[in-house]
Amino acid sequence: ADGELVQYHYGLKDLVTILFYIFIAVILHAVVQEYALDKINRRLHLSKVKHSKFNESGQLVAFHLTSVIWCLYVVVTEGYISNPRSLWENYPHVYLPFQVKFFYLCQLAYWLHALPELYFQKVRKEEIPRQLRCIALYLVHIAGAYLLNLTRLGLILLLLQYLAEFFFHMARLVYFTDENNEKLFNVWAVVFVVTRLFTLTLYILVIGFGLPRVENQALNPERGNFFSFLFNNILFRMSVLLLVCLFQASVMWRFIHFQLRRWREYWNEQSSRKRAAAGAKQQAKPLKRDSGYHENGVVKAENGTSPRTKKLKSP
């Protein structure tokens, strides 16, 4: 009422809030599955493997689209995009606006709810290690940004990551409905490369130039300053940047390898189709047509006379 801005800090009560929103995420997951994905699956008649991947991509498309819109709204209203210096100024960012804190709690709740969903969705054993690895990576990065007071940087990185993931899973959904339609995979490839470049640039900007200029460089866990003092050491700063560059290079290498394999399979398929079409043309023999035309089962010449030679009767 008096116009004061209320801000929040993390604490043990966050665990109760996260537990509540885990149940909300389970309910929303079931709603999307029953009223959207199951109805589409009945029409497509997919195999068991494609059925599982279709459900996974369908759920993640809904989640990533919601998260991208929500995260974009937060970073725009908080001014993190219009003022990039705010990503490292006044670090540590201990006190959070309500919408930033609520966004992080919902993100943690969603990825924690994905663990019991592996059982509810009866995911195949071959797919469980990959999905567990993906869930663990998201939980570590989101919780790390939340607990280490790097929430502003984490929001931008999540926005870039979710944007690329949205196009990938959307392309998979379109591919399952029409296997000849791979145009969205090309769109995803462009978005993926652009987001990787922005991510690497953001890391260099914040770690290489931003955090070393923070005024409060002393280690003070009580105030939330955990490691900004380390960035004064140029060796530590360069080591972190080197690890980031190596990780991004490995991601790009796997992406390029995947694209080359996909293009090679595409061209092999096209060349096999051309060879099959050429072989079919060679095997096809041209049909010999009789001179004249058929009328009531009798072959007649073009002038109306019969093409057979007439026998002359003896007088």
pLDDT tens digits along 138-157: 999 999 999 988 899 999 99
pLDDT digits (tens, 9 = 90+) for 203-258: 888 888 887 777 666 666 666 666 666 666 778 778 888 888 898 889 899 889 88
Q: Which of 231, 70, 55 is nearest to 150 (CA)?
A: 231
pTM of full prediction above 0.95: no
Highest mean pLDDT among 23-32, 143-152, 272-281: 23-32
Q: How far apart are CA 146 and CA 152, in angstroms?
A: 9
Angle between helices 234-283 and 183-203 (to 10 degrees): 170
Structure tokens of 87? Answer: 């990503």
**pLDDT band at 8; cut points 50, 70, 90:** very high
Burial of 173 (0-12, 13-18, 19+ CB in 10 A): middle
Residue 286 has pLDDT above 60, yes or no: no
Q: How far apart are CA 57 and CA 259, in angstroms?
A: 20
| Per-residue pLDDT, 265 | 80
Stretch (H or E) spanning 299: strand 298-300
| Per-residue pLDDT, 305 | 53
Three-state secondary structure call for residue 300: strand
| Per-residue pLDDT, 297 | 52
**pLDDT band at 303; cut points 50, 70, 90:** low
Q: How far apart are CA 42 and CA 56, in angstroms?
A: 16
| Per-residue pLDDT, 285 | 55
| Per-residue pLDDT, 121 | 84
Domain spans in the chain, listed from the N-terminal domain onward = 7-271
Residue 75 has pLDDT above 60, yes or no: yes
| Per-residue pLDDT, 314 | 46
| Per-residue pLDDT, 127 | 87
Residue 22 has pLDDT above 70, yes or no: yes
| Per-residue pLDDT, 15 | 96
| Per-residue pLDDT, 134 | 94
| Per-residue pLDDT, 296 | 53
**pLDDT band at 184; cut points 50, 70, 90:** confident
| Per-residue pLDDT, 213 | 75
Using an 8 Å Cβ cutoff, are 265 and 280 in contact?
A: no
Using an 8 Å Cβ cutoff, are 142 and 158 in contact?
A: yes
